[in-house]
Structure 1
Amino acid sequence: MRSTGLGTGSTGTDLAALPLDQRLARLRQQMDAIPARAGSSARTPVPGHDILPIEGPLGALLPDHGLARGTMVTCPRGAVLCGLLAGATASGRHAAVLTDPTEPQIGLLAAWEMGAVLERLAVISTPDERAAEVAGVLADGVDVIVFDLPRAHIRPADFEKLRGRLRAKGAILVATRADWARQAHLDLRIQRRPTYGLGRGRGRVSKIDLDIDVLAGGRCVRRGRVVLRGHGGRTRWNHPDIAPLTLAHTG
């Protein structure tokens, strides 16, 4: 299990040299050392009333302009996922990505270009069979946990235990596979539209249009388009000329 980020005194090399049980113990120590979540164990989040806000056009498409604490969300890899990580860490929150070291990794450069604070973002490689346990430990001190393990299969009992821990701690789990997080609170479905700036295989991408459907309880509650534009080595989210369509409001 390799860890980077969070700045709590253990390097990825240190963790990799330890047996798994000792690595989990070290992660627990790191979670206790994060001040942003101090005292959070006594809180019972209520979806729609305890929200981690996501600023800007991307957040405007989400119910209550953010993610409800203590819930599970599905969002595929790509720009929107990086935007969620950027929004969370830029607002002072901590995030972690559970990943398989044999798979392509989420582009942290893209998240940084959107404003992510990488010092608040950990990347942890972990065995599939211990992923639920690791996520449960991270819930003690991390606000957003991205579960990017395409081959992980979690037993129903472990899944319900993890769900309960997320509720108790107020952490948000974002799964990159929609078929993994059963009964997710929100399901984000993204369709990439034309990309601008490339001409016959050359040039720099200047704009990407993305259509987003936000599903809750299996039905679409929000739908809209956002635009990702490059600007001075950074990227920013914009609304297109047409306003997003609001189908319903949850919470």
Structure 2
Amino acid sequence: MNETENNTKREKKLYHKWWIWVIGLIALIFIFRIGSSTIEKAMTKDIPNVMGVNYIDAESILKENGFKVSSVETDASSILSNDTHNRSVKKDEVFKINNETSPNYNYGRTKDKKITIYYAKDDYTYNKPVASTTPAPTAKSVDSNETASTSNTSSNWKQFLKDYEGWVDSYITFMEKYKENPSDTALIAEYGKFMADTADWATKAQKYEDDLKEMSPDDVAEYTKTMARIIGKLSDIAK
């Protein structure tokens, strides 16, 4: 095999390697972020809220909805006394479903349709601690703080998308230089920098996945527009 053929093979191999890395990064940061949530919802089933219901009635409700139920008689004080959702319960009332103790939960889900309910062995009375003399924040101030926090997170998310698109642009510039001169050894250093950047972008994406929880319609729209532009740019460089 002559030198020209070796160079051609090397060019194709490195080019494909870079293409795989960029597509993989996009999938890691964006596509998996949205797709995994969709798949998860499709594979799981909502658990009806039977907190505070007599365990016999709770069993009937859950079984009618297709769940396999295990009932456990438990000393409620052993679980609720140090729990965030400490409260009074009557004998035979359900006070815990799987690992959930909140009486107002509305997000319980299960994949295998198996549920364990815990019901009180005896009456349990929760004695509220003495109220603090420090005024509690008003509902208005709490709502205001939550709104400000959500707005700030959304703004940071949009900036993240903008920065990520800028990084993809710099990658495309690199690819154009490489395609014009694949024998330029100086490009190896740039290659290493792009590789190091992938870990940073993955870390940033994870942070926003934890902070956003569920995207607002505006966030989804911004994500969609940004991804459309990025995919278009990558399609052009692949030609």
Which category of TM-score, normalised to the shorter sequence, fits these structures? Answer: under 0.3
Tell me the TM-score normalised to structure 2 length: 0.17
Q: Which has the higher strand share?
A: 1
Structure with higher Rg: it is: 2
What is the TM-score when the length of structure 1 is the normalising length?
Answer: 0.17
Give the number of the structure whose residues are more often helix, by fraction: 2
